[in-house]
Every structure is written in structure tokens, then in C-alpha cells.
Amino acid sequence: MLMHVINMGHDVFRANDKLAEKNRKLLEKHEVFAVNVMGAIGSGKTTLIEEAVKALKDRYRIAVIAGDVIAEMDASRFRKLGVPTVPANTGKECHLDAKLVEKALEELDLENIDLLIIENVGNLICPVDFKLGEELRVVAVSVSEGDDIILKHPMIFKTSELAVINKVDIAKAVDVNPETMKRDILILNPEIPVLLTSKHDKESLKAWIGYLEEGIKDMKGI
Ligand code: MG
Ligand code: ZN
């Protein structure tokens, strides 16, 4: 997965940054709060997004960009919740980039969206280098990935603005202490808020959902 990064010149990143900034401005103009949800396959990104959609969709207008090598599977889960969803198939690529998001934005009625959630491709490495135009970068990690997963992927934790340690209900079964994971994240990024979540504990999801709601309100200045 690292190969393409090694082969790519800085020009690719610079071009992507420029396009990401264009996306960001477009989203800002329409007062859309955009979130980039990153994390490995199995970290529970789709489920975290579903829970947020369910909790917020009666009060806010939500849309989802579902990024994946084959994005239709997750996209259908979001469509079932009744929110506009654009699948962004990356083909062979293991990350979304600003160009794919630009294309997806063309299919959305931005004037009628308050919150745009972008599910990135399951990967802890290259999404780091590709800004999409988001306002908030979130990294989700599951306890089932093991407690050395954090320090093995420092950049994504250093560059994210919110971290979610998910599936904490199975921590004992997989012999991982979520507090150790949290400590490792804070070693890498002392400023980042770290949430512990489980889809089976609705109370634990409130802070996650609250962050999104705060973002929407900030974007609208309310
Ligand atoms: Mg998913
Ligand atoms: Zn990639």
C-alpha cells in the first residue's frame, strides 16, 4: 500500500491540497460541515456513521460519501437510513482523494445539506496525505486491532482532530485495555479528544454525536 506514496512526487500532494482547499471553500460557502472518517477495515466506521445519522437526521440534513474500493455495500447501508449517499469507488486506490470528493460533491445538493460525512477507505496509512476539503478529521480504531496498532501508525493519530476507540465492549475478550490505547494516542497527540465507544452502549455514542452537532452549529454560526 505504501508503494504509490513512494513513487509519487510532491506535485501530486500539492495538486491534491489545492483541490481539497477548493472543496473546503465550496462546502463552507454552503455552510456544510464536512467530516472525514478514517480508520482500518473493521474499525467500525460505517457503524459509527450510521449511529450518528440515526441520532441527527431528524434535526439536520445529512449526506454521506461512501468511499471504498467497492463502495456500494456501505452506501446501501446509509441509503437505508434515508440520507443522500454517493458511493466513491476508488478502484485500486486505498484512499480517497480531493478529486474523487470533488466529483461526489457535484452529485449533492449542497445548499440543502448541514452535515456531510465522508467514510474514507479502510486504511491507516495513506489517507493521512490526502486532504479532502473536510472541516474535521476523525480516526476510528477498534480494540480488536490490538494495543500496538496506535504506535505503529503515528501519523494518522498525529494529524487527526478527534479519535474514537471503538468496540470497547469486547476489550476484555481481545485482551486489550482501551485506556492503554488512549494513553498511546495522547502520547502522539496530547491535544486530541479521545472517545471510547461501543454500538451496544448508546450512552457511549453521545459524545461522538455531540461533536458532529457542535460542528454543524459552528459552521452555521448558531
Ligand atoms: Mg465501512
Ligand atoms: Zn492509498
- Give the Cα-Cα-Cα angle 24, 207, 108 (nearest 5 degrees): 30
Q: Taking 50 as the threshold, does the pLDDT of residue 175 lie above it?
A: yes
Give the pLDDT band (50/70/90) at residue 7.
low
Residue 103 CA to ligand 1 centre (angstroms): 20
| pLDDT at 2 (0 to 100) | 52
| pLDDT at 1 (0 to 100) | 47
Q: Taking 70 as the threshold, does the pLDDT of residue 3 lie above it?
A: no
Contacts of 136 (CB under 8 A, 6+ apart): 33, 34, 35, 36, 161, 162, 211, 215
CB atoms within 10 A of CB 85: 26
Residue 42 CA to ligand 1 centre (angstroms): 7
**pTM score, two decimals?**
0.94
Residue 141 CA to ligand 2 centre (angstroms): 18
The CATH T-level fold of domain 32-220 is Rossmann fold (3.40.50)
Instruction: Give the number of the ligand closest to the Cα of residue 123.
Output: 2
Residue 103 CA to ligand 2 centre (angstroms): 18
Span 179-207, pLDDT tens digits: 999 999 999 999 999 999 999 999 999 99
Give the pLDDT band (50/70/90) at residue 69.
confident
Give the pLDDT band (50/70/90) at residue 68.
confident
